[in-house]
Amino acid sequence: METVTRIGEMQSHAEELRRKGAMIGVVPTMGYLHDGHLSLVARARKEADVVVTTLFVNPTQFGPGEDFERYPRDPENDERLASRAGTDILFMPATEEMYPAGFKTYVLTEGLSTVLEGAFRPTHFRGVTTVVMKLFHIVKPHLAVFGQKDAQQAAIISQMVKDMNLDIRLIIAPIVRESDGLAMSSRNVYLSPEERKNAVALFRSLRFAEDAVRRGERRVETIRNGMEEILRNAHVSAVDYVAFVRPGTFEVVERIDPPDILVALAVRFGKTRLIDNIVIPVS
């Protein structure tokens, strides 16, 4: 595995690979890699000739008072894990390399970026789409792999790719969970032992929703009330949202109808904010 830190060098690599006819796959990450990230690398490995994993804690997607400074970082271990998972090139740019003095241009996907996560983190998705667009131009991939855990992010990037006529195939890979169901996340390290024990309530509440729909319940309010009770019993500090939306469009629904529904939630344990979701087929 080769580690690259400069944009120009990464672009030169990408141009040479394309000239040789190699298919490039990219897996954008903020590092502190876990099995969820590594599953994305493994998926890219199956689809592409050359896998580029990017490791960059992107400051523009963090709002005031969020955890940019304390976001977990372990680049040495990330290099080991990325190599072991099948990464060919690890792109690790510095902040000043990606956002030099005088940087003024941002990418914004309207509508989708203002609901759910966007309502609680107003500048978050502007930062996400900007950095992803930059990475696409730097790495020049044929395909990119993202995780379903960040379902709204995946929908927004899909919209951006479509609207901007980017010749990139997106792959949205399934959520990877701990043995007790908690979705893998770099922020899980923030949880105290007691909070970690209680955090499994996110998955339990989603499974409650899934079971209710399978039994024939179609009233959103009824299912949401049951989910919120599970979360309250887990001593969450706050429930930011429990939302029922159409996958892809994130249109909020009040009654569950075919073909499927995405149930998304965001909760807080102390200062730690966790998200999760599930797509439920509806017949």
235 is catalytic: no
For residue 118 the two structure tokens come to 């966007």
SS3 235: coil
Question: 3-state SS string over the chain?
Answer: CEEECCHHHHHHHHHHHHHCCCCEEEEEECCCCCHHHHHHHHHHHHHCCEEEEEECCCHHHCCCCCCCCCCCCCHHHHHHHHHHHCCCEEECCCHHHHCCCCCCCCCCCCCHHHCCHHHHCCCHHHHHHHHHHHHHHHHCCCEEEEEHHHHHHHHHHHHHHHHCCCCCEEEEECCCECCCCCECCHHHHHCCHHHHHHCCHHHHHHHHHHHHHHCCCCEHHHHHHHHHHHHHHCCCCEEEEEEEECCCCCCECCECCCCEEEEEEEEEECCEEEEEEEEEECC
Residue 159 and residue 128 in contact, taking contact as beta carbons nearer than 8 Å: no
Of residues 13, 34, 37, 137, which has the active-site annotation?
A: 37
**Cis, peptide link before residue 193, omega less than 30° from 0:** no
- Could you identify the residue written with the tokens 């792109």? 91
Q: Annotated catalytic sites, by residue?
A: 37
